[in-house]
Amino acid sequence: MKLANPDLLKFQNYIDGAWRAAERTMAVCDPASGELLGNVADGTAADAEAAVAAATAALPEWRRRTAGERAATLKRWYQLIVENSEDLARILTLEQGKPLAEAQGEILYGASFIEWFAEECRRAYGQTIPTHNPAMRLSTIRQPVGVVSCITPWNFPNAMITRKAAPALAAGCTVVIKPAQETPLSALALCQLADEAGLPKGTLNVVTGSDAAGIGRVLTQDPRVAKFTFTGSTPVGKLLMAQCASTVKKMSMELGGNAPFIVFDDADMDTAVKACMATKFRNAGQVCVATNRIYVHQAVHDEFVEKLRSEVAALKIGHGTEAGVNMGPMIFRRAVERVQNLVQDAVASGARIELGGEQLPNGENYFAPTLLTGVTDAMRIATEENFGPVAAVQKFTDEADVIRRANATPYGLAAYVMSENIRRANRVVEALEYGMVACNTGVFSTTVAPFGGNKESGIGREGGVEGMAEFYETKYCCFGA
Ligand code: NAP
């Protein structure tokens, strides 16, 4: 891999401010070509324990620093990420597959959390509370929760780390991260820049490894860890929540979704199609807030499908580093098989393939951007998160009915509403049981707003003032006069 700054390519764990080899290594490959990118430390539970010990030892000094001092270090980290963004994007594309332009967007989005939380930590105000008793003085202070452990997924290998690590570090916590085994290089490159920025040793630690269960047990059960934060699938999230129960850890969970995308007959069709393309085919559909169920009013169904078809047909598929490519491969073979399976199941139950529906000859991880019509709520493609480039369209006729159908899922992460009628838009946005609702746009994630889900899509929020609050304990102080 050719980089302007070859120092960013690291293959060892980053523990206690040092690069440490593990007993074994694991291969990291380009999902587009299968080419070996390098062999990375295959860390174990023992490495995770060493990282927790380092984070525990680093905590008193880091939390004692003023918010301004922590902010200055974090801002240096932010600056270095921006300066190295092209190399970081290249690493990301090669290990994850998304087009370079998307990877560059993710690096800057990821960096924005560091900049924003560096500023926000200066405003960790407590309160003076009007007392209930003249002989007492009441107040609150906010203190860092302690050592924070994180497990992150492969679909956003940079931003899912900074969205957790930045507020934690800004609050005065120390951090241990296990990235997904497919995408460890982005995590390690971030550590290299944190090191250059002067983050004290032990403050940020990364353990890469294929023994997710073993490493995960340490991160969820070690009593020295105060808070666990996870982004990934709902089944794994439930397991990890149960593991956290033994030591009553604070938890944040960013889990799976099943996003409805509702197009009313008063929608602007070009806006709706543009939004649908953005939320469905970005990162080959491997996005937790990706549209999963597209409900289109029957009066505009055919027009919407035709417009969507021509946009989908125009997508350029290929290796993420090639110029002009809009969609790369999926992350691994079993993701392709899963999507293929869901499409076949839908077709067997009466859905129609308008476009795509099969693997592409580019490589074993490529699946064609696919458009299905005639989908129903009973099909697996509508009840399960397809996490792939498949747009599954259904019809509706009635507002109350489509709201009921959109809400009829255990998930509650993101939903989309397309309507030019402001009263309807307000009514529907409020009625949807989701943590995030986007109206007349397909792109809404930002550092400054709270990201997270209702129901089985998660607990807590990342980003915004809510994202900062997750890493503080509020202490109530009562002084007798
Ligand atoms: P996943 O299988 O749950 O994996 C996520 C992380 O959990 C990886 O680091 C994985 O490690 C680790 N893991 C797996 N099994 C574990 C265990 N038994 N103990 C400890 N750690 C374990 O999820 P995924 O398939 O990679 O990611 C896709 C899912 O993430 C989708 O459902 C998506 O919706 C969700 N997601 C949610 C958000 C959000 O903000 N709500 C954002 C992005 C993705 P290995 O890589 O080593 O297996």
What's the CA angle centered on 195, arms 194 and 200, to 5 degrees?
A: 95
Verify whether ligand 1 is closer than 6 Å to residue 239 (CB atom).
yes
Beta bridge partners of 437: 415
Give the pLDDT score at 446: 98
Give the pLDDT score at 419: 98
Give the pLDDT score at 300: 98
pLDDT in tens, 50-107: 999 999 999 999 999 999 999 999 999 999 999 999 999 999 999 999 999 999 999 9
| Distance separating alpha carbons of residues 408 and 398, to the nearest angstrom | 15
Give the pLDDT score at 27: 98
If one residue of 40, 181, 288, 444 were mutated to test the ligand 1 pocket, choosing by the most ligand atoms within 8 A of its CB, it would be 288
Taking the centre of ligand 1 as the mean of its atom positions, its distance from the CA of residue 164, in whole angstroms, is: 15
Radius of gyration for the chain, computed over Cα atoms and rounded to the nearest angstrom: 23
Q: Does the predicted TM-score (pTM) go above 0.75?
A: yes
CB 171 within 8 A of CB 146: no
How many Cβ atoms are within 10 Å of 126's Cβ, its own excluded?
15
Verify whether ligand 1 is closer than 6 Å to residue 232 (CB atom).
yes
Q: Which residues are catalytic?
A: 254, 288
8-state DSSP, 285: G
Tell the residue nearest (CA) to atom 42 of ligand 1: 288
Taking the centre of ligand 1 as the mean of its atom positions, its distance from the CA of residue 29, in whole angstroms, is: 18
Distance set, CA 281 to CA 32, 212, 254, 284, 300 (Å): 17, 29, 21, 5, 22
Which residues of the chain fall short of a pLDDT of 50?
A: none
Enumerate domains of the chain plus CATH numbers: 6-255+457-479 (3.40.605.10), 259-446 (3.40.309.10)
Taking the centre of ligand 1 as the mean of its atom positions, its distance from the CA of residue 152, in whole angstroms, is: 6
